Amino acid sequence: AFDARGACEPAPAPSCRTRITYGDAWIHGDGHPAQHDDVNGVVTWEGTCRASSGGRSFARLSNGWEPHFT
């Protein structure tokens, strides 16, 4: 789940981890059968889906990742 507001109070501990869970429309990468990623630190999303080529879309996450969706 995402904190779409980008605010965490109080500040997370250094050992904070975020589980990013993708919906059914997520385009899995090669060798990535899981429907989620676990990453160090806080990851947020501002809530905007952006258009991509071929009628697809992507989300820009605060850690720089851009998961793509059908």
pLDDT for 10-25, tens place per residue? 665 667 899 999 999 9
Q: Above 90 in pLDDT, residue 2?
A: no
CA angle 37/45/47 to nearest 5° reads 125
Q: Above 90 in pLDDT, residue 4?
A: no
Q: Above 60 in pLDDT, residue 7?
A: no
Spatial distance between the Cα atoms of 60 and 67, rounded to a whole number of angstroms:
7
pLDDT for 16-66, tens place per residue? 899 999 999 999 989 999 999 999 999 999 999 999 999 999 999 999 999
Residues in CB range of 59: below 8 A, 6 or more apart: 45, 48, 49, 50, 66, 67, 69
Residue 67: phi, psi to the nearest 5? -65, 140
pLDDT at 1: 47
Residues in CB range of 20: below 8 A, 6 or more apart: 2, 36, 37, 38, 39, 43, 61, 65, 67
